[in-house]
């Protein structure tokens, strides 16, 4: 689930370490975290809450453990993707 841009940049072995060294001091700040929070906040579409997918997934044969792993993966994506945008 690594962002497409990161996968492309990984084809240039020297680029990622140098880019991260330059980016880390900026992306590791409270200011950058606040920016990512604003992206998350503004990406919410107004309307009713989405239904809980757990009952449907259980009916389709998913286990509680698989559903929990899916939720963790989605939480990580929801946390990380705004930072990719920055």
The domain locations on the chain are: 4-85
State the pTM of this model. Answer: 0.66
Q: What is the pLDDT of residues 1-20, one digit of tens each?
A: 467 877 888 888 898 888 88
pLDDT for res 20: 84
Q: What is the pLDDT of residues 27-53, one digit of tens each?
A: 889 999 999 999 999 988 899 988 999
Given a contact cutoff of 8 angstroms between Cβ atoms, the answer to whether 9 and 15 are in contact is: yes
What phi, psi does 11 have (nearest 5°)? -75, -10
Q: What residues contact residue 58 under an 8 Å CB cut-off, 6+ apart?
A: 64, 67
Please report, for residues 1, 56, 67, 69, the alpha-carbon distance to residue 62 in angstroms, rounded to integers and kept in the order given.
Answer: 21, 9, 7, 11
Q: What is the pLDDT of residues 53-74, one digit of tens each?
A: 999 999 999 999 999 999 999 9
pLDDT for res 79: 87
């Amino acid at each position: 689930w690594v962002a497409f841009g990161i996968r492309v940049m990984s084809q240039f072995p020297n680029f990622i370490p140098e880019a991260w060294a330059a980016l880390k001091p900026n992306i590791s700040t409270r200011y950058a975290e606040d920016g990512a929070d604003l992206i998350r906040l503004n990406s919410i579409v107004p309307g009713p809450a989405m239904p809980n997918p757990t009952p449907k997934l259980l009916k389709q044969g998913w286990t509680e453990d698989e559903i929990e792993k899916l939720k963790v993966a989605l939480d990580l994506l929801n946390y990380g993707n705004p930072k990719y945008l920055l």
